[in-house]
Amino acid sequence: MQTYLEFEKPIAELEGKIHELRSVGQTEGAVDIFEEIQKLEVKVADQVERLYKNLDAWQKTQVARHPARPHCMDYIETLVEDFTPLAGDRLYSEDYAVIAGLGRWQGQAVAILGHEKGSNTQSRLKHNFGMARPEGYRKAIRIMDMAERFNLPVVTLVDTAGAYPGIGAEERGQSEAIARCTDKCLQLGVPFVSVIIGEGGSGGALALATASRILMLEHSIYTVASPEACASILWRSSEHANTAATALKVTAQDLEKLGVIDRILTEPVGGAHRDRAQMMSDVGLAVAGELAKLASLSPQELRDTRRQKYLDMGRSGIV
Partner 1 sequence: MNWLKNFVRPRFPSVFRDHDDTPDNLWQSCKQCGEMIFHRDLALLQHVCPGCDHHMRVGARERFSQLFDDGAFETIEVPDVPHDPLKFKDQKRYADRLRDARNKTGDRDAVQVALGKIQGRKSVIAVQDFQFMGGSLGMAAGEAVGTAGPTALGNNAPLIMVAAAGGARMQEGILSLMQMPRTTVIVQQLRERGLPYIVVLTDPTTGGVTASYGMLGDIQIAEPGALIGFAGPRVIQDTIKEKLPEGFQRAEYLLEHGMIDMVVHRHKLPETLGRVLGLLMGRPAPETQTA
Question: Least distance to partner 1 from the beta carbon of 311, Å?
Answer: 5
- Per CB under 8 A, the list member of 17, 104, 124, 180 interacting with partner 1 is 180
Buried b (16+ CB within 10 A) or exposed e, 9-41: eebeebbeebeebeeebeeeeeeeeeebbeebe
Among 59, 174, 212, 220, binds partner 1 (CB under 8 A): 174
- Residues in binding contact with partner 1, number by CB under 8 A: 52
Helices (H), 96-239: 121-126, 134-149, 167-171, 174-185, 202-209, 227-234
The one segment of 61-69, 97-105, 176-184, 264-272 that binds partner 1 by CB under 8 A: 176-184
Q: Which of residues 227-266 bind partner 1 (CB under 8 A)?
A: 229-230, 233-236, 244, 247-250, 254-255, 258, 260
Phi, then psi, of 50 in degrees rounded to 5: -65, -45
183 binds partner 1 (CB under 8 A): yes
Q: Answer yes or no: are the C-beta atoms of 21 and 73 closer than 8 Å.
A: no
- Pick between residue 14 and residue 261 the one whose CB is nearest to partner 1: 261
Site for partner 1 contains 307 (CB under 8 A) = yes
Q: How far apart are the first and last CA of the chain?
A: 44
Interface with partner 1 includes 92 (CB under 8 A)? no
DSSP code of residue 70: -
**Chain centre distance of CA 66:** 11
- Contact between 165 and partner 1 by CB under 8 A: the answer reads yes
Residue 288 lies near partner 1 (rule: CB under 8 A): no
The amino acid at 281? S
Q: Which stretch binds partner 1 (CB under 8 A): 13-21, 97-105, 216-224, 279-287?
A: 216-224
Contact region with partner 1 (CB under 8 A), list: 14-22, 80-88, 159-167, 288-296: 159-167
Report if residue 210 touches partner 1, rule: CB under 8 A: yes
| C-beta neighbour count of 68 within 10 angstroms | 14
Q: Which residues contact 155 (CB under 8 A, 6 or more apart)?
A: 105, 110, 111, 112, 113, 192, 193, 194, 195, 287, 291
Residues engaged in binding partner 1 (CB under 8 A): 163-167, 169-176, 178-180, 182-183, 185-187, 202-203, 206-207, 210, 222-225, 229-230, 233-236, 244, 247-250, 254-255, 258, 260, 307, 310-311, 313-315, 318
